[in-house]
Structure 1
Amino acid sequence: MGEAEKTLYGFPLKWVSLVTLVVQNSALALVMSYSRKAKPPNELSYLVSTAVVMSEFIKLVICFAVYAKEEQALGRLSLQKVLKDLFGRDSHWKKMTVPAVLYFIQNNLQYVAVQYLDPATFQVTYQMKILTTALFSVLMLGRTLSRRKWTSLVLLTLGIALVQMDGKTTEAKSSGMQQFLGLLAVTIACVLSGLAGVWFEKVLKGTQASLFLRNIQLSVFSLIPGLIFGVCLMDGAAVRQDGFFQGYNKWTWGAISCQAIGGLIVALVVKYADNILKGFATSLSIILSSIASIFLFDFKITFLFTVGAGIVLYATHLYGLPDSVPEPKRHNSDTSLAYAPLQQEATELPRFNMRSV
């Protein structure tokens, strides 16, 4: 007899996690964009550096609470055990600093991107992470991609290019420089996401560790540069003058919360669903974001955008399909999604013995 499917209040966890991912993925792009653009003229804008720090802090609290509960259930929770797990000889904490810093920069760039791009264009362009993750996997891990996956990557690039061409024809809403800055920010964010995910896999391959322990380490090493370089150095004067929480409102907290829980939701999807269904969830969130943008941001769906977005959706689905010759069964993880607010892309799942949020 097969293992009984896990449920939550009678609903299969597979579908609960997928629906939650669609809602979160759609909401984050919209809420982040709205929080940056829909500001009353007399009010201060919130500082991106503080928003990223708060997101990491919330993630740290959630992960530590779950980790502590797990350790307490095993009767081994103590301060000495926590410090050993986080910073001991076998904790690999030094290796975690690189992806943590990369994810920190990526999260800041996402706020820049949504300020200059509409949510629909941002969502579609952000699927470039599939391409960067795949390329870094080939270069750094020596992974071989099937012809189908290479085809999907070519289609993905074509679709994103069409969407950006459409953006250049609608510069009445957004100046050429704003469009360029938004595209530059999202491109760099995608490169950093792919590099961080593959680096994470490369340095941790073969290690055994708690899912939440690894994310505690990532949060800690993201908070350090966030507080020092972001809050203190870059925005120190503004924080001293108007406070850490200047410009915060319900939309700011909504963006922070969505960003904080995004990786945790992806972990559930990876655990209880599969990569193909996750790809469908990502595609559906793009469609929902595009529809919502029509009403919230006066977004115009053009023929070029429709064609480009359609190609991206198909490429996302195609990339998630299993190859005809299955690889030996291994434990799966989704390191490219470790810290992504909107990085729930349908990439090939990296293989090593842990799941990272």
Structure 2
Amino acid sequence: LFLRRKLSNLQWIAIVLLAVGTTTSQVKGCGEASCDSMFSAPIQGYMLGILSACMSALAGVYTEFLMKKNNDSLFGVIFNIARLLFDDFRGGFENGPWWQRLFNGYNLTTWLVVLNLGSTGLLVSWLMKYADNIVKVYSTSMAMLLTMVLSVYLFTFKPTLQ
């Protein structure tokens, strides 16, 4: 409704599969405890969980709307630089201007983290611009699956049936 788009049947199936997958991943197994305790949370907890999921979905759709509405990222750049300059003036430039401290203390690990997060941000913004929020959520799910598979081989992680 928000983006004024009609979802295809495949997209509706994808949303239902995401909801079922998310729900089953959060349900505790019966194990040694009785299965009665699996659904023992009060109704307020379930309602807050549903509200949280709806707010998260709304935020994702609104972000997609903003990405597709305009291409102006200069707005954010200007306000971030203004904040850096404000902090410099407030601190009296005691540690030097922001451009001299920007990369102070960076080592190889820091650069790798910056490269990883920067490329992830660019990839997500590309997905939001040219695909949609459903594709973004599925790509995140695939990344989690790949992380689990790598954890099995690299760290002898033992996944449960869930």
Q: Which of structures 1 and 2 has the bigger CA Rg?
A: 2
Alignment TM class, shorter chain as reference: 0.3 to 0.5
Q: Compute the TM-score of the two structures, normalised by the length of structure 2.
A: 0.48
TM-score by length of 1: 0.26
